[in-house]
Copies of this chain bind each other. A is one copy, B any other.
């Protein structure tokens, strides 16, 4: 299901239990950010380390358990873990052996936000 107006686009994908990877940039015609929903199965690991050229990443862990490796540091993550990684950070995510891991990943150009919330919002 989806619908749109001149200033918005809405897509509904239903249950988040069924997601493996859902990228939103094309689906929502985004211009300032890329957002993806990711569910890794128990025991699954991204098979490589990666960094970025210019994008900051923000990870919002919603459900499950896993390990986030950044520049060799091993961080235990799960519900309520919130992580910023700068472009140069070498990162890799692994779901726990006994739990899947569901998270939202956000990419934006580092340094590109100049104002937000009370300074960018306008009460109509």
Contacts and interface: CB of A to CB of B under 8 A. Distances in A.
Size class of A's contact patch? 35 or more
Interface string A103-124: 0101111111111110011111
Number of copies: 2
Nearest to A17: B79
A8 B62 contact: no
Listed from nearest, the 8 A-B pairs whose CB atoms lie closest are A7-B89, A32-B108, A33-B108, A28-B84, A49-B124, A34-B116, A112-B112, A32-B56
Interface of A: 3, 5-16, 22-25, 27-35, 37, 48-56, 58, 60, 62, 68, 70-71, 73, 75, 77-86, 88-91, 104, 106-117, 120-124
27 contacts: A6-B71, A7-B71, A7-B89, A8-B91, A9-B83, A10-B77, A11-B82, A13-B82, A14-B79, A15-B80, A22-B82, A28-B58, A28-B84, A31-B112, A32-B113, A35-B58, A37-B60, A49-B123, A50-B122, A52-B122, A55-B113, A60-B104, A90-B124, A107-B116, A107-B120, A108-B113, A112-B113
